[in-house]
Amino acid sequence: MDYAQLIKPIRLPAGFAAPPRLTFEDIVASRLGREHLAEDVAGINASLDLIRETRGGGWPAGPVTEDGNYIDLVWHECEFREGYSFSYAAHTDAGEYLGCCYFYPLGRRTPLSEELARCDADVNWWVTPSAHVRGYYEKLYRALRRWGTADFPFAALHFSNRRVPG
């Protein structure tokens, strides 16, 4: 079977609501939405090279604008509400913006394969350069591993970042 053109949706148990807020050590992740517009635009634009190096993929193709990013944030809100994907803005517990993290359907970022189809979600993330030098790239990875199996009911996660901590 050719899986490459397929998307495996995220399946949550009946009655399970994706958490709007997640915590791990000093990281607080909240449902990504339009209230994050200013800090998200600034964070993305300050992180273009780092996102390409660590997260990989075709996004962002270049600097983002407030108008364009507003559309993306509303799209993330809709996907979260519909249970299609779950995107979060990550901050320190003191309120410093760190970046974003995502639980996506399999096949959306990485072509689906028989092996990948055994997983429950595609997980990826990015952090700002200042967060990166302070170790938050690795810390957010550890947080996502915990959230994916403790706060979400996932048994197997696929981390699709170009650089996944060892």
At the topology level, CATH places domain 21-159 in Aminopeptidase (3.40.630)
- Amino acid 112: pLDDT: 93
Question: Which residue(s) pair with 157 in the sheet?
Answer: 121
Cα gap 33→115, rounded to integer Å: 32
Give the residue-averaged pLDDT of 79-87: 98
Cα gap 101→31, rounded to integer Å: 10
What the block records as the tokens of 12 is 């949550």
Read off the pLDDT of residues 92-133 as tens digits, 9 standing for 90 and up.
999 999 999 999 999 999 899 999 999 999 999 999 999 999
Domain layout of the chain by residue ranges: 21-159
At residue 130, the 3 state secondary structure works out as helix
Read off the pLDDT of residues 16-38 as tens digits, 9 standing for 90 and up.
999 999 999 999 999 999 999 99
CA-based Rg of the chain, rounded to a whole angstrom?
Answer: 15
Model pTM above 0.85? yes
DSSP code at position 86? E
* CA distance readout (Å), 7 to 92, 104, 108: 33, 10, 6
Read off the pLDDT band of 90 (50, 70, 90): very high
Residue 1 has pLDDT above 90, yes or no: no
Cα gap 2→68, rounded to integer Å: 34
What the block records as the tokens of 52 is 């390409």
Q: Minimal CA–CA distance to 40: which of 5, 4, 75?
A: 75
Read off the pLDDT band of 40 (50, 70, 90): very high
What one-letter code names the amino acid at 52?
Answer: R
